[in-house]
Structure 1
């Protein structure tokens, strides 16, 4: 992997129209190093990884405003720490707010702080709007661009994700450091908006500049999935594996995509091999269990017996996050793991905690949890208990709101599959006919989908019109 090492100092940033209030060249250079690792999803060992880069950045200038914005904003965007319950994160935010009052703090830095404050209050969409407003005046501010993108992703807002990049692209020069990463970011927004051909072109431009741009590889993975080119996806991902697997922050998710291709074509043993050898070890290292739970759930839809032991491992690994309620999409998988590992009492406690979260908190995730997350959680429980008709009745009114749960179209598809399986298994003939309608709809969107064909064949064998 070719890594950057010529980091920008104060003057270099100023020349790009991004003036910092700090006078520390070392702080500016370390900020550049941190930003590079963030957009590249990798740990630069020569810098000691992200943690050491962040530490050095603060040591170089303890009052470095953009440094505090980067670390606090990124921590909030990690949706792993609840600021309402974490004293250290709250102190970091409080200190950042005091920096806003410094006379040397720039207009750009002030706007960043305002966005981070709003984000801390739970309003992801409002924070993204502030970052977008900042980008009107400072279109090459990659941190603002990246943080806005992250929050669009969490809210399932594919059109803003796409257009955010399109608006700033003309202001960037190919010679500007990190320019190539814009292609992968744009490609993902294009793909999530259904513009698959354009997305592939953009992703391949990003990879031509930097073969290790794993976000571009990731965008291509989505394109192959959504256009039903599973064999092409397998070929691409395996041929480029050495390019993207070194990106620690995204490799587990890209392996998840590779496994999905094998699930689709019915090679379940290969998908499970990828789970055991690549996804699970990374999951245990990061304690992020969502991708792993998603894959196991899909395999069980296909009739694969993955075993209680695998679910128990995920349940125990993800346990510290079970009651944080920071992202609806994640919470669904924590409930899922509790149910499949036969901790029904914990799943019940999780759902009760979710109800308290809806009652006591505010913000975008709270709204989405009330509107979509809670009924989907209840549907998971109903499905687990064999109450398929109830699961259908819970999912049907919110199916077009799944997008609000965030993540990608490919990720949310497991809940469409849950809906279909519940309808097929329901004792009500009307639900089985609904399943047929859903499968016809699915086939119209993606013609080459063996998974859909298998479900259709299963349904046809039931003689639902008799």
Structure 2
């Protein structure tokens, strides 16, 4: 038997092939049907058990590993019946569950070289590289598989995002457009192209493009649909279309799967951006915080914990202080391959975020200033990490000291130069130049 990409599979129950294909096809296409593999959980085939474990680990919660472990154990117990490809995937999932992300990535890289059409393994390897800030690793994985799997549109989408995160915009756009030409409903390629247009300041074009393909965002997992709408909201905020951006938050970004980590951080980061743009968000922080209080002991990824903390702090929940203490206590005990990211980035960033949320500009500048040079180590995309830079810039402006305003001017003008369409940045720049007693920007002199 083979899966739909031509990889041989070892199954105790041939009827489980449908579940295998649902996982493989659903995972690489960002579709919710990937979770249908759980329907075959009674099949003791090692690969099926490993796929079920994968789905549990993607919960990104403190319960994820305990829920995945029985499936990993069953997969390992039957590994002698599995092929070398399947055994390597099982090893990679076990390494993930143990927190040994470096080993997991190495196994996925090896899989890409030896079985380049195992695109589920490849996409999972990209996920780990993304979470550790290894953008070249993301791209290298996709390029390794391209000679053998160029017929699969989703691989071009994976390559597009890898190129974009490596700042190779022309190649990113070409790969994304190739993927979309092969399969219009390729949401990861839409996402990659949205990143390119945001980075290059093509704001109106980006908004029009994302909306033009949004009708195809059906049957997707909650992260993919909410995250693509999150990108739509970013374009709207920069273009000064405040009411529309707030409506996207209410109708498309928050409320799809409120218990899911990625939906929660998407909501946190969008609410923060709305506020930074001067948009009143009402009681939305309080509504969101009711879900974030469940995250105080997760510590799955520092990138997640930091945004949980900021959301709790903006809602004025006392649990924000507790989460900070939990992060400080966990960082020295984190798995070795991730300990530096927790200690050198997560801890100071957490302190800075809590300070910003409480109006302590000096504390925000100190904490975020320590974290920003190494921020890539906690993962997330350029667009996602930009929130931390925006908060740092906001703290500089709020500080009002001559030195802070001078730093803010340099950072802000570079942003205006990169995104001349942004009304949000223009308003912010006008305020800074007024405080510095310098003339405002002249619209027709903009880049």
Q: What is the TM-score with the length of structure 2 in the denominator? A: 0.91
Matches within 5 A, 1:159-308: 159-172=136-149, 174=151, 179-249=152-222, 250-284=224-258, 286=260, 288-307=263-282
Matched, 1:112 2:89: yes
More moved, 62-71 vs 447-456: 447-456
Offset at residue 108 of structure 1 (A): 1.6
Gaps of 5+ in 1: 1-9, 44-48
More moved, 435-444 vs 329-338: 435-444
Matches within 5 A, 1:451-462: 451-462=424-435
- The aligned residue for residue 390 of structure 1 is 363
- The aligned residue for residue 371 of structure 1 is 344
Alignment partners' CA distance in 2, 1:462 and 1:151: 44
- The aligned residue for residue 340 of structure 1 is 314
Offset at residue 365 of structure 1 (A): 4.1
Contact between 2:47 and 2:75, CA under 8 Å: does it hold in 1? Answer: no
Contact between 1:121 and 1:363, CA under 8 Å: does it hold in 2? Answer: no
Matched, 1:42 2:15: no
Equivalences, count: 436
Matched, 1:94 2:73: yes
Contact between 1:323 and 1:350, CA under 8 Å: does it hold in 2? Answer: yes
Instruction: Give per-residue Cα distances to partners, 1:184-206, cap 9 Å, x unaligned.
Output: 11111111111222212211111
- The aligned residue for residue 441 of structure 2 is none
Alignment partners' CA distance in 2, 1:390 and 1:400: 17
- The aligned residue for residue 444 of structure 2 is none
Contact between 1:389 and 1:431, CA under 8 Å: does it hold in 2? Answer: no
- The aligned residue for residue 15 of structure 2 is 26
Offset at residue 420 of structure 1 (A): 0.6
Contact between 2:396 and 2:407, CA under 8 Å: does it hold in 1? Answer: yes
Match of 2:293 among 319, 339, 343: 319
Contact between 1:290 and 1:330, CA under 8 Å: does it hold in 2? Answer: yes
Alignment partners' CA distance in 2, 1:83 and 1:237: 32
Contact between 2:130 and 2:381, CA under 8 Å: does it hold in 1? Answer: yes
Instruction: Give per-residue Cα distances to partners, 1:121-169, cap 9 Å, x unaligned.
Output: 2122321111101221111111210110111121222111112111110
Gaps of 5+ in 2: 439-447
Match of 2:133 among 156, 160, 169: 156
Alignment partners' CA distance in 2, 1:404 and 1:445: 24
Offset at residue 441 of structure 1 (A): 3.6
Contact between 1:73 and 1:116, CA under 8 Å: does it hold in 2? Answer: yes
Offset at residue 445 of structure 1 (A): 4.7
Alignment partners' CA distance in 2, 1:197 and 1:173: 19
Alignment partners' CA distance in 2, 1:391 and 1:420: 10
- The aligned residue for residue 396 of structure 2 is 423
Matched, 1:328 2:307: no
Secondary structure of 1:282's counterpart equals coil
Offset at residue 363 of structure 1 (A): 4.1
Contact between 1:376 and 1:395, CA under 8 Å: does it hold in 2? Answer: yes
Instruction: Give per-residue Cα distances to partners, 1:87-131, cap 9 Å, x unaligned.
Output: x4322222222223x2x3222222222212221121223211111
Alignment partners' CA distance in 2, 1:369 and 1:82: 20
Secondary structure of 1:211's counterpart equals coil
